Amino acid sequence: MVKITDVARHAGVSPSTVSYALSGKRPISEETRQRVEAAIRELGYRPHAGARALASSRSNVLALVVPLRAGIHVPVVMQFAVSVVTTARRYDHDVLLLTQEEGEDGLRRVADTALVDALIVMDVQLHDPRLPLLRSLERPSVMIGFPAEADGLTCIDLDFKAAGEACVEHLARLGHRVVALVGSPPEVYVRQTAFAQRVVQGFTAAADRGGLSSSVHPCEATPAGARLVAEQLLREQPALTGVVVHNEPVLEPLIDAFEQLGLRVPGDLSVTAICPDELAESVRVPVTSVPLPSAEVGERAVQLLMKKLGGSAVPEATLLPPRMTERASTAPRDA
Amino acid sequence: MVKITDVARHAGVSPSTVSYALSGKRPISEETRQRVEAAIRELGYRPHAGARALASSRSNVLALVVPLRAGIHVPVVMQFAVSVVTTARRYDHDVLLLTQEEGEDGLRRVADTALVDALIVMDVQLHDPRLPLLRSLERPSVMIGFPAEADGLTCIDLDFKAAGEACVEHLARLGHRVVALVGSPPEVYVRQTAFAQRVVQGFTAAADRGGLSSSVHPCEATPAGARLVAEQLLREQPALTGVVVHNEPVLEPLIDAFEQLGLRVPGDLSVTAICPDELAESVRVPVTSVPLPSAEVGERAVQLLMKKLGGSAVPEATLLPPRMTERASTAPRDA
DNA sequence: GCCAGGCGTCGAAGCGCTTCGACGGAGGAC
DNA sequence: GTCCTCCGTCGAAGCGCTTCGACGCCTGGC
């Protein structure tokens, strides 16, 4: 193994000079830097991560806790993860993967052993048990999602409440008076997953404000679940003309089910969704949607963490505004 | 931060004794061990990962390279990842997440900096450019998937060839004489992704052996792609009665398309798939399938790595035999 | 009763890097 | 010309842990 002393000898300088040339923490003359860089290249030098972590008390590794529970859409999780890793690399950091299963112990472990410098936590619940832990940790963290009480913590997410509102307002603008939200599976609400709750809040608030009649329907993430909800809606809400879907796997099956029950989209029923653009576009009837900008959220989460690691203050809450794309699934009522 | 010397002082022993009590690498009297453990608990001691890595030249971290290219089924990737993380934790290891995008440089980096002790690589191609790199690395690795030439490397995967054969043989046993394989999107074959190729080999070999007439059809991973292939099959293979699907997202849409074209499953057409059990079970007509045992593959991959890290020899190739589950989508021809 | 051998523990020497204080020399201010 | 400053570099001291050799003591064999 080639080490920093080898590089130093080869370049005719001291090890500390090599270190400073690498980190830029002290000025090094152009000429010396060149020699050092040449030596590094010729010898194929790679600083030892452990030694570096020990001496600098920085591991340049971030922890990412991914959810693996029922009811969350896996591709979205993966998009987050990839975006986090990619962004972290831009800041010369790596990403350690933790599963929800490891729970609080896992967080504490990687933080206390100095395996990681900072943490990103996904799938936050309104009253998440990890909140006090994150507050007590001596390392910065960012949560993707908003708990009920976020004092002293840093959170970022799509503004799901505004997204719910945007969907309803879009439907209201088109003249719809009776709307329904087809949401996540029941267990997601039972767990009080923050983002699901906020969609409901926004949906309901906007409907009330606009004087619309509204109802909320959890839905199993299967085609069968979709059919069930479609039938139920038809039965219980015959005047229904607008639907908001916040449940990725169910979007296409639900539209199929409506059509099989004789409701044309958007002729009889306008449908909007909160889901990735790819999904919205790939459905037979492209769906007017508010995408969850996972790539942006992941990137911004890492950037927040980097700022915190750099000692800067960051806003406690970052809510990304929803951006709706109109597609073929919504139309004016009585059009 | 509490360190090993604090623990030692508190327990009235030397630091090395604490270390040996923790690692078990030398005998320690029961009584001393108790005192050490008590001290650790009382002080909340956590060994510093970097220091440990530096002194022992073991980081207790594994690298996992996940694919993020088009045409691979994301939930399956996630299952692998979770299984790898979970198993690694059982062996007191953590997992560093690398994306395919980082490529060979990323592998070399984490290996050379001693950030990780060993590597797991997914989505192997027949002529994978990372092969020579993995051979040259001084750290053990395991590939999930089989390249064309695996000499000197360790590979594990479902025996996709046998899986393809099993599907055909099952159909042949039921009396079907004309079969088709609906496969992955074209780009997967263009890239020569190993597992996709092997399914084709097994499918074709078994069909030839059994004197069946067979054809292979790549398929875009969208409902539209499924419809296209269904129509094409109907047109070009009117005598077709058996289909093997190896393309998760397309399974349900394909069956829908067949039924809309007037073919009943399994009445007119028997369908088998290579896909996760959950998917096979969630389709309207539960599908006879060979599951990809991702959890087992991930677990075994980690175990192989642990053996290699322990200095033991391991088999170069581990092929997990396919296990078919019969469901409602297959029936005897002319039944 | 004496010596060999092993068990249990200690001390010290690193592992490879960063960082702090120091220092020589060059340049600017007066 | 002198003094001060700042730039660029060096040396040494750790960072917190593991591990190797050494050593004392207890046990057992004869």
Residue B335 has pLDDT above 60, yes or no: no
Helix (H, G, I), strand (E, B) or coil at A45: coil
pLDDT of residue A193: 81
Q: Does A81 touch chain B (CB under 8 A)?
A: yes
Q: Specify whether A227 is located in the same domain as A83.
A: no
Burial of A266-292, coded b for 16+ CB within 10 Å and e otherwise, reads: beebbbbbbbbbebbebbbbebbbbbb
Cα B14 off chain centre by: 45
Which among B53, B96, B99 is the nearest to A96, CB-wise?
B96
User: Which range has the worst mean pLDDT, A188-197, A294-303, B268-277, B288-297?
Assistant: A188-197
Q: Does B96 touch chain A (CB under 8 A)?
A: yes
For residues A39-61, average pLDDT: 97
Shortest Cα–Cα distance, B131 to chain A (Å): 20
Element (H, E) at B221: none
B218 CA – C5 C1', rounded, Å: 72
CA-CA distance, B89 to A106, in Å (whole number)? 10
CATH of the domain at B219: 3.40.50.2300
Helix (H, G, I), strand (E, B) or coil at B181: strand
Cross-chain residue pair A53–B52, CB shorter than 8 Å = no
Cross-chain residue pair A46–B109, CB shorter than 8 Å = yes
A18 CA – D11 C1', rounded, Å: 14
Report the candidate in A334, A333, A301 with the shortest Cα–Cα distance to residue A317: A301
Which among A68, A81, A282 is the nearest to B222, CB-wise?
A282
Residues 6+ apart with CB under 8 A from A16: none
Edge-to-edge strand order for the sheet containing B270-274? B213-217, B178-182, B242-245, B270-274, B288-290
- Nucleotide nearest residue A57, measured CA to C1': D15
Q: How many CA atoms lie within 13 A of B62 on its CB side?
A: 34
**Is A333 among the domain residues?**
no
Which among A75, A95, A114 is the nearest to B50, CB-wise?
A114
Report the candidate in B40, B44, B45 with the shortest Cα–Cα distance to residue B11: B40
Residues 6+ apart with CB under 8 A from A241: A176, A177, A178, A179, A268, A269, A270, A333
pLDDT of residue B193: 82
Residues 6+ apart with CB under 8 A from A130: A103, A104, A107, A121
Cross-chain residue pair A68–B78, CB shorter than 8 Å = yes
Query: Is residue A47's beta carbon less than 7 angstroms from any atom in nucleic acid strand C?
Result: yes
Cross-chain residue pair A97–B64, CB shorter than 8 Å = yes
**Is A325 among the domain residues?**
no
Residue B309 has pLDDT above 60, yes or no: yes
Q: Specify whether A153 is located in the same domain as A173.
A: no
Query: Is residue B55's beta carbon less than 7 angstroms from any atom in nucleic acid strand C?
Result: yes
Confidence of residue A286 (pLDDT cuts 50, 70, 90): very high
Q: Does B295 touch chain A (CB under 8 A)?
A: no
Report the candidate in A185, A330, A145, A333 with the shortest Cα–Cα distance to residue A244: A330
**Is A248 among the domain residues?**
yes
Q: How many CA atoms lie within 13 A of A116 on its CB side?
A: 30
DSSP β-ladder status, B61-66 and B94-99: parallel
B309 CA – C20 C1', rounded, Å: 39
Report the candidate in A37, A29, A30 with the shortest Cα–Cα distance to residue A10: A37
> Protein footprint on strand D: which nucleotides are under 7 Å from a CB?
7-12, 14-21
Structural domain tally of chain A?
3
pLDDT of residue A301: 98
For residues A282-295, average pLDDT: 91
Residues A312/A278, Cβ–Cβ less than 8 Å: no
Residues B39/B7, Cβ–Cβ less than 8 Å: yes
Query: Is residue A59's beta carbon less than 7 angstroms from any atom in nucleic acid strand C?
Result: no
**Residues in chain B closer than 8 A to A44 (CB atoms):** 112
pLDDT of residue A326: 95
pLDDT of residue A335: 52
Query: To the nearest whole percent, how much of chain A has pLDDT over 70?
Result: 99
- Residue carrying structure tokens 């750099």: A310
Q: Does A109 touch chain B (CB under 8 A)?
A: yes
Q: How many CA atoms lie within 13 A of A148 on its CB side?
A: 8
Q: Specify whether A168 is located in the same domain as A227.
A: yes
Residues 6+ apart with CB under 8 A from A125: A147, A191, A192, A193, A194
CA-CA distance, A50 to A239, in Å (whole number)? 65
Mutate to test the interface with B, among A2, A105, A113, A302 (most CBs of B within 10 A): A113
Nearest chain A residue (CA) to B2: A112
Instruction: Write out pLDDT tens, residues A216-226.
Output: 999 998 888 99
The rounded mean pLDDT for chain A is 93
Q: Where are the alpha helices (DSSP H) in chain B?
A: 4-11, 15-23, 30-43, 49-56, 74-90, 103-112, 130-136, 160-173, 186-190, 194-209, 223-236, 251-260, 277-282, 294-309
Cross-chain residue pair A50–B114, CB shorter than 8 Å = yes
Q: Specify whether B253 is located in the same domain as B314.
A: no
C-beta atoms surrounding B16 within 10 Å: 11
Mutate to test the interface with B, among A56, A99, A256 (most CBs of B within 10 A): A99
B16 CA – D22 C1', rounded, Å: 14
**Is A205 among the domain residues?**
yes
Cα B149 off chain centre by: 19
Report the candidate in A152, A84, A151, A140 with the shortest Cα–Cα distance to residue A312: A140
Report chain A's C-alpha Rg in angstroms. Answer: 25
Instruction: Write out pLDDT tens, residues A71-90.
Output: 678 888 999 999 999 999 99
CA-CA distance, B332 to A226, in Å (whole number)? 32
> Protein footprint on strand C: which nucleotides are under 7 Å from a CB?
7-12, 14-21
Element counts in chain A: helices (H) and strands (E): 14, 11
Cα A249 off chain centre by: 17
Nearest chain B residue (CA) to A83: B99
For residues A13-32, average pLDDT: 94
CA-CA distance, B64 to B51, in Å (whole number)? 23
Residue A102 has pLDDT above 70, yes or no: yes
**Is A119 among the domain residues?**
yes
Residues A243/A257, Cβ–Cβ less than 8 Å: no
Shortest Cα–Cα distance, A114 to chain B (Å): 6
Burial of B91-106, coded b for 16+ CB within 10 Å and e otherwise, reads: eebbbbbbbbebeeeb
pLDDT of residue A154: 96
Q: Does A228 touch chain B (CB under 8 A)?
A: no
Query: To the nearest whole percent, how much of chain A has pLDDT over 90?
Result: 81
Edge-to-edge strand order for the sheet containing A270-274? A213-217, A178-182, A242-245, A270-274, A288-290
Instruction: Write out pLDDT tens, residues A176-213.
Output: 999 999 999 888 888 878 888 899 999 999 999 999 99
For residues A137-162, average pLDDT: 93
Cross-chain residue pair A52–B50, CB shorter than 8 Å = yes
Q: Specify whether B226 is located in the same domain as B307.
A: no
**Is B326 among the domain residues?**
no
For residues B89-95, average pLDDT: 97
Q: Specify whether B206 is located in the same domain as B262.
A: yes
For residues A138-150, average pLDDT: 93
Q: Specify whether A170 is located in the same domain as A154.
A: no
Residues 160-189 of A with CB under 8 A from B: none
CA-CA distance, A142 to A155, in Å (whole number)? 6
Cross-chain residue pair A64–B97, CB shorter than 8 Å = yes
Q: Does A54 touch chain B (CB under 8 A)?
A: yes
B153 CA – C18 C1', rounded, Å: 37
**Residues in chain A closer than 8 A to B53 (CB atoms):** 49-50, 53-54
**Is B279 among the domain residues?**
yes
Q: Does B51 touch chain A (CB under 8 A)?
A: yes
Query: Is residue A1's beta carbon less than 7 angstroms from any atom in nucleic acid strand C?
Result: yes
Max CA distance (Å), chain B:
84
pLDDT of residue B38: 96
| ∠ Cα B183 B245 A82 (to 5°) | 60
Q: Specify whether B103 is located in the same domain as B36.
A: no
CA-CA distance, B107 to B137, in Å (whole number)? 9
Residues 6+ apart with CB under 8 A from B260: none
Instruction: Write out pLDDT tens, residues A223-276.
Output: 889 999 999 999 999 999 999 999 998 998 899 899 989 999 889 999 999 999
Q: Which two tokens stand for residue A41?
A: 């290249």
CA-CA distance, B269 to B330, in Å (whole number)? 8
Nearest chain A residue (CA) to B109: A46
Confidence of residue A70 (pLDDT cuts 50, 70, 90): low
Range of the domain at A105: 61-158+294-320
Residue A167 has pLDDT above 70, yes or no: yes
Q: How many CB pairs under 8 A join A and B?
A: 118
Residue A57 has pLDDT above 80, yes or no: yes
**Residues in chain A closer than 8 A to B78 (CB atoms):** 68, 74, 77-78
Q: Specify whether A276 is located in the same domain as A303.
A: no
Q: Specify whether B148 is located in the same domain as B91.
A: yes
Residue type at A62 in one-letter notation? L
pLDDT of residue A87: 97
Element (H, E) at A335: none
- Residue carrying structure tokens 């005719």: A12
Residues 6+ apart with CB under 8 A from B105: none
A31 CA – D5 C1', rounded, Å: 23
Instruction: Write out pLDDT tens, residues B23-50.
Output: 999 999 999 999 999 999 999 999 999 9
Q: Does A15 touch chain B (CB under 8 A)?
A: no
A14 CA – D11 C1', rounded, Å: 9
Element (H, E) at A38: helix A30-43
Cross-chain residue pair B78–A95, CB shorter than 8 Å = no
Q: Specify whether A70 is located in the same domain as A119.
A: yes
**Is A72 among the domain residues?**
yes
Element (H, E) at A277: helix A277-282
Q: Does A101 touch chain B (CB under 8 A)?
A: yes
Nearest chain B residue (CA) to A51: B54
CA-CA distance, B51 to A59, in Å (whole number)? 11
Q: Specify whether B304 is located in the same domain as B224.
A: no
